[in-house]
Amino acid sequence: MRTDVPVILLAHHTPQTPPVPAILNGVQQTTMVFLTYPHHGCVYTLSQEDGDELYYAPIYSNGNVNLEEFAPVDLDSVDMDQMEIFDIRNRLVELNKI
């Protein structure tokens, strides 16, 4: 398996939710789009509030990701090319339109 190719994951908050926003037990459920770059060691997504801010969470050695560990990407201290970060954000924006 290639590790230099991004992987796109779609996830729902609960297995019962449809792929569009819905109300379940009084709580709005939404589809989340994740983009993984295995060589980065993390998963990226956009903020659920406005979809404008890029967030990341680490991928653990067993392949798990804790969805409660997402934090905003600090563009001032990121140790990769700014264009790569903007490319990740733009890909997520486009994927969220689908």
pTM: 0.69
Contact 75, 82 (CB under 8 A): yes
1 part of a folded domain: no
2 part of a folded domain: no
- Residues β-bridged to residue 56: 44, 71
What's the structural domain count of the chain? 1
63 part of a folded domain: yes
Contact 13, 19 (CB under 8 A): no
CA distance 59 to 93: 21
71 part of a folded domain: yes
58 part of a folded domain: yes
For the chain, 98 residues long, give each residue's pLDDT as a single digit of tens. Answer: 444 444 445 443 333 433 444 445 555 556 778 888 778 889 999 988 777 899 999 999 998 888 889 999 998 888 888 888 889 999 999 888 87
Domain containing 30 equals: 7-97
Phi/psi zone of residue 51: left (φ > 0), alpha (ψ -120 to 50 degrees), beta? Answer: left
